[in-house]
Amino acid sequence: MSRLLIEGGAVLSFDPEVGELERGSVLIEDERIVAVARDVEAGDAEMVDATGCVVLPGFVDTHRHTWQTALRTVCADWSLMEYFRGIRQTFSPRYRASDVYAGNHAGMLEALDAGVTTILDFSHCVNSPEHADAAVEGLRDAGGRGVFAYGYFPSGAAEPAFADHRERIDDARRVRSQHFSSPDGLLTMGVALTETGLLPFDLTRAEAESARELDALLTAHTGCVWGSSLCMGVKEMDAHGLLGPGQVHVHCNALSDSELDLLFHAGAAVSSTPDTELAMGMGRPIVRRWLDRGGLPSLGCDVVSANSGDMFAQMRLALQFQRCMDADEMNSRGENPETVELTTRDVLRWATVGGAEALGLSGRVGSLSPGKQADLVVLGSNRLGMSAVADPAGAAVLQAGVADVRDVLVAGRFVKRGGVLVGADAARARGLVEESREWLFESVLAGGEVLPEAPPGFIEGLTAMAEQNLAGARL
């Protein structure tokens, strides 16, 4: 049995029975946390000095398209519609299985380096069975925890590997059997729906029903396109009994109050990705509207093809944007709020407990609780920006960055120690994504532009198709 004691740090446990410790210790035996207290008798355990550091649960990212890691910042200045044309219609069909492996492997290592110990990988570049296998292997070889969500989106490859959509669902069954036979692994199975409206509703129903058949988490882009039925369909899914627990609906900015109510009362979870939502014109992050219903939000980094892959950026944007909106009405009257309602501890909870609950993993991770698996982060460095800390939660959210992620553990195993990834060949991962980027750009540019012009009636055509596909589902 291996025993490890992390001692002397400020502990933010997010377990109500443990609370916060100004100076505490976390005892780990093998994969699990066995004690969190001010003083822990550890015997012959290996000691890790966390004096001056902040110890907290690993971050849980509930929405990440990890396969896009080789396209870092290509869409930094794109709208959502440009993203659809440039990434989904131009780059995605050209991806080889090796490109998916490179993106998922380097992307998971990037997450671990940033203290994100669990991700929901929304993998909607499954151009063939080989692509699916490569995506799973890329995540598994990196050593992080996650949900691999098999993406049903038909990418439009020049030579489709699947004769029809039912073959995609059959391949998801194969992946479930081949890669996820045990429920106890670091990786578990999910399915990612094609955006509602892009397919006839009978296929949307088949995708959703496959999640229940496979005992897999369901995730979907929901309510992120304004003035269109595309990505909507909440009422139609509810009418057909397709909403429920074990679902993560991403974005949700354009949903009506009644549609949000349907998600909440069905027991579904939501994921907000503030960086992409604010940048690409998707609207206000859903945080306040979900909190007002009694829900606990979760956060995701979405795409490093646009923004960074760390949770610090998402926490800051989510918190400060909502603080601004909360004060907006008073400001319009020439008044100032007396207090700040949302705190740094609130947003840390969204990024840890909220994520674990959304992914159905709250019994394993999300808090520093005795009995749970030891997924945790030690924040601390010699940077002046992390010195003289008065509030550890404030430091974790508003002062810290990836450079301050000193140690990261997944299931009691160091994946980063002393600021350096452990057991990972970071140089190889960088080489894989650099080679992939070069090949992808050469392939795209040989056939046209990275961001092609929108064909006449592009948006109108999508809107009409979505309306037609959903119309038949309305009872």
Is residue 82 over pLDDT 90? Answer: yes
Range with lowest mean pLDDT among 38-47, 139-148, 269-278: 38-47
Residue with tokens 């505490």: 24
Q: Is 460 helix (H, G, I), strand (E, B) or coil?
A: helix
| Beta strand pairing call for 269-272 and 298-299 | parallel
pLDDT in tens, 386-427: 998 999 999 999 999 999 999 999 999 999 999 999 999 999
Give the distance, in angstroms, between the CA of residue 432 and the centroid of all CA atoms in the same chain.
22
Distances (CA, A) of 394 to 13, 75, 407: 15, 31, 19
- Give the H or E element holding residue 251: strand 247-251
Q: How large is the C-alpha radius of gyration of the chain? A: 22
Give the separation between CA 9 and CA 118, rounded to whole angstroms: 23
96 or 466, which is more confident?
96
pTM over 0.85: yes
Conformation bin of residue 197: beta by default, left when phi > 0, alpha when psi is -120 to 50: left
Give yes or no for residue 313 having a pLDDT over 90. yes
Q: What is the pLDDT of residues 100-109, one digit of tens each?
A: 999 999 999 9
Tell me: the pLDDT tens digits for 342-384?
999 999 999 999 999 999 999 999 999 999 999 999 999 999 9
Q: Is the pLDDT of residue 139 over 80?
A: yes
> Between these two residues, 1 and 275, which has the higher pLDDT value?
275
Residue 90 confidence (pLDDT): 95
Domain locations in the chain?
3-57+364-421, 59-354
Which of 29, 157, 31 has the alpha carbon at shortest distance from 410?
31
pLDDT score of 261: 98
CATH superfamily of 59-354: Metal-dependent hydrolases (3.20.20.140)
* Span 332-343, average pLDDT: 95
Enumerate the H helices of 196-342 as residue ranges: 201-213, 234-239, 257-266, 274-279, 287-292, 311-332
pLDDT band with cut points at 50, 70 and 90 for residue 158: confident
**Would you place residue 182 in the very low, low, confident or very high pLDDT band (cuts 50, 70, 90)?**
confident
Q: What average pLDDT does the segment 74-93 reach?
A: 96
Mean pLDDT of the chain: 96
pLDDT of residue 42: 87
- What pLDDT is stored for residue 394 in this prediction? 97
Topology, domain 3-57+364-421: Urease, subunit C; domain 1 (2.30.40)
